[in-house]
Structure 1
Amino acid sequence: MLRAVAALPRCFIGDLTVSGQPLGVHATRTDPVRVLEEMKRLAVEQLGAIPGALYRPVEQALQSPSASAESFHDQAALLVLRQHSASHVMRFRQQIAQGFDEFRTPRIRDVALMGLIDEHLIDFHLAGQRLAEILDQRYQQPLDAMKHRLIGLAAALRLESAGNPISPARLADAFVETFGDAGLPEALAGLMFRQYQQELARVLDDLYERINTLLADAGYDAVGHYAAANRAAPAAPVRSPSSLDEQVAPRYPQPPAFNSANVPAEYAAHPAHPAHPAYSHAAPASAPMPAATQHVSAELAGLRAQLRAWRTTDAPHAPHAAPAPYGYHPHRPPPPRRELRVQEVVSIASLLQPEPPDAYARALTVSGRLAEAIRAHLTEGARRLGLNPEQTRFSVDEEDAIDLVALLFESLFRTHALQDRARRLYARLVLPYVKVALVNDAMFVQPEHPARRLLDAITEACEDNSAATPQDRELLERAAAVSQRVVAEYNEDLAVFELAHAELEDLLVQQRRRTELQETRAAKATHGRERLNEARSQADTVLQRRLTAPPLTSAVANFLVTPWRHHLVQTLLRDGAESVRLADAVQLGNALVEADRLAEAGRGRELADRLLALQPAIVECLASSGLDDGAARHGMAGLVRELANPDTPRALHAAPPSDVSDEPAEEGSRLWLAGGTDTIAHDPGVAALMRRLQPGEWLRLTDAHGEAVSVRVAWISPLTSRLLLVNRRGLRVLVAAPEELAVLVGAGRLLVGAERTPFNEAMRQLKDRLDYAVGQR
Structure 2
Amino acid sequence: MSGHLHGVVHNTRADPARVLEELKRQTLEQLGGLPGSLYGPIEDALKADSLKGDGRNHQFEDQAALWILRQQQASHVMAFRQQIGQGFEAFRAPGAAVGGVGGSPLQLVGEQQLAFDLDGERLVELLEQRYQRPLEMVRARLQMLAQAMGAPEGVNPVGPYRLIKAFTSVYTEAQVTESLRMRLFRQYEQELARLLGDMYARLNQVLATAGYGMATGAPPAGPARAAAEERRDRNTLDGVFDTVPHREAAASVPHDYQQGSYPPAPGQGSGYAAQGGAVSQVEVAAMAAELAELRTQLHAWREGLIKGGGLPPGQQPQRTMAQRRELRVDEVVGMASLLQPEPPDAFARALAVSGRLGETIRDQLFDGARRLGFNPDQTCFSPEEDDAIDLVALLFDSLFRNHALQDRARRVYARLVMPYVKVALTDNAVFVKREHPARRLLDAITEACEGNDGETPQDRDLLERASDISQRIVSDYNEDLAVFELAHAELDAMLAQHRRRIELQEQRAAKATYGRERLGAARSQADQAVRERIADGKLTSAVADFISTPWRHHLVQVLLRENEDPKRRAQAMALGDALVMADKLAAENRGRELADQLLALQPIIIQCLSSSGLDESAAQHAMAGLVRALATPDKERADHPQPSAAEVEEDVAEERRRYLADDAAQGGHDPLLAERMRQLEPGDWLRLTSLQGETVAVKVAWLSPLTSRLLLVNRRGVRALVASAEELAMLAASGRLVVGAERTAFDEAMRQVRRHLDRVI
Return the TM-score normalized by structure 2.
Answer: 0.63
Match of 2:287 in 1: 296
Match of 2:78 in 1: none
Cα distance in 1 between the residues matched to 2:595 and 2:649: 44
Cα distance in 2 between the residues matched to 1:323 and 1:746: 39
Shift of the alpha carbon at 1:412? 1.0
Residues 253-286 of structure 1 show CA distances to partners (whole Å, capped at 9, x for unaligned) of xxxxxxxxxxxxxxxxxxxxxxxxxx94313999
2:680 matches 1:689: no
Residues 326-352 of structure 1 show CA distances to partners (whole Å, capped at 9, x for unaligned) of xxxxxxx97521111100110110110
- Matched position secondary structure for 2:612: coil
Instruction: Decide whether aligned partners of structure 1 residues 286 and 631 sit closer, same or farther in structure 2, where only a CA change above 3 A counts.
Output: closer
Match of 1:165 in 2: none
Match of 1:69 in 2: 14
- Matched position secondary structure for 2:681: coil
2:491 to 482, 487, 504: 504
Cα distance in 1 between the residues matched to 2:279 and 2:494: 42
2:301 to 298, 304, 310: 310
Residues 681-702 of structure 1 show CA distances to partners (whole Å, capped at 9, x for unaligned) of 2212111111111110000011
Cα distance in 2 between the residues matched to 1:677 and 1:323: 48
Match of 1:328 in 2: none
User: Quick check: 1:683–1:742 contact (8 Å CA) kept in 2?
Assistant: yes
Shift of the alpha carbon at 1:324? 13
- Matched position secondary structure for 2:654: coil
Residues 410-445 of structure 1 show CA distances to partners (whole Å, capped at 9, x for unaligned) of 111222111111111111100000000000001101
User: Quick check: 1:682–1:743 contact (8 Å CA) kept in 2?
Assistant: yes
Instruction: Decide whether aligned partners of structure 1 residues 582 and 198 sit closer, same or farther in structure 2, where only a CA change above 3 A counts.
Output: closer
Cα distance in 2 between the residues matched to 1:291 and 1:323: 36
2:570 matches 1:583: yes
2:634 matches 1:647: yes
Shift of the alpha carbon at 1:664? 3.6
Letter matched to residue 729 of structure 2: A
Letter matched to residue 470 of structure 2: S
Which runs of structure 2 are paired with 1:70-219 in the superposition (5 Å)?
none
**Percent identity of equivalent pairs:** 60
Larger radius of gyration: 1
Cα distance in 2 between the residues matched to 1:300 and 1:460: 26
- As a proportion of its length, which structure holds more helix? 2
Shift of the alpha carbon at 1:704? 3.8
Match of 1:618 in 2: 605
Instruction: Decide whether aligned partners of structure 1 residues 364 and 323 sit closer, same or farther in structure 2, where only a CA change above 3 A counts.
Output: closer
The runs of 5 or more residues in structure 1 that have no matched partner are 1-54, 77-193, 201-278, 326-332
Match of 1:713 in 2: 700
Cα distance in 2 between the residues matched to 1:566 and 1:285: 71
Instruction: Decide whether aligned partners of structure 1 residues 70 and 310 sit closer, same or farther in structure 2, where only a CA change above 3 A counts.
Output: farther
- Matched position secondary structure for 1:475: helix
- Matched position secondary structure for 1:734: strand
2:501 matches 1:514: yes
User: Quick check: 2:686–2:699 contact (8 Å CA) kept in 1?
Assistant: yes
Cα distance in 1 between the residues matched to 2:276 and 2:639: 93
User: Quick check: 1:665–1:733 contact (8 Å CA) kept in 2?
Assistant: no
- Matched position secondary structure for 2:720: strand
The runs of 5 or more residues in structure 2 that have no matched partner are 23-220, 228-269
- Matched position secondary structure for 1:602: coil
Match of 1:745 in 2: 732
- Matched position secondary structure for 1:281: helix
User: Quick check: 1:595–1:607 contact (8 Å CA) kept in 2?
Assistant: yes
Shift of the alpha carbon at 1:607? 1.4
Cα distance in 1 between the residues matched to 2:724 and 2:742: 22
Instruction: Decide whether aligned partners of structure 1 residues 672 and 550 sit closer, same or farther in structure 2, where only a CA change above 3 A counts.
Output: farther
2:343 matches 1:356: yes
Cα distance in 2 between the residues matched to 1:758 and 1:765: 10
2:326 matches 1:381: no
- Matched position secondary structure for 1:466: coil
Instruction: Decide whether aligned partners of structure 1 residues 292 and 672 sit closer, same or farther in structure 2, where only a CA change above 3 A counts.
Output: closer
2:530 matches 1:543: yes
Match of 2:273 in 1: 282
- Matched position secondary structure for 1:493: coil
- Matched position secondary structure for 1:519: helix
Cα distance in 1 between the residues matched to 2:301 and 2:479: 29
Letter matched to residue 710 of structure 1: A
1:434 to 402, 415, 421: 421
Shift of the alpha carbon at 1:595? 1.0
- Matched position secondary structure for 1:667: helix
Cα distance in 1 between the residues matched to 2:527 and 2:279: 76
Cα distance in 2 between the residues matched to 1:388 and 1:567: 86
How large is the Cα RMSD of the aligned pairs?
A: 3.1
Shift of the alpha carbon at 1:575? 1.3
Cα distance in 2 between the residues matched to 1:679 and 1:196: 71
Cα distance in 2 between the residues matched to 1:393 and 1:324: 7
User: Quick check: 2:530–2:643 contact (8 Å CA) kept in 1?
Assistant: no
Match of 2:389 in 1: 402
Letter matched to residue 300 of structure 2: A
Aligned length: 514
Letter matched to residue 423 of structure 1: R
Cα distance in 2 between the residues matched to 1:491 and 1:737: 51
Which runs of structure 2 are paired with 1:343-492 in the superposition (5 Å)?
343-492=330-479
Letter matched to residue 283 of structure 1: A
2:713 matches 1:726: yes
Cα distance in 1 between the residues matched to 2:675 and 2:428: 41
Instruction: Decide whether aligned partners of structure 1 residues 433 and 323 sit closer, same or farther in structure 2, where only a CA change above 3 A counts.
Output: closer
Cα distance in 2 between the residues matched to 1:690 and 1:542: 33
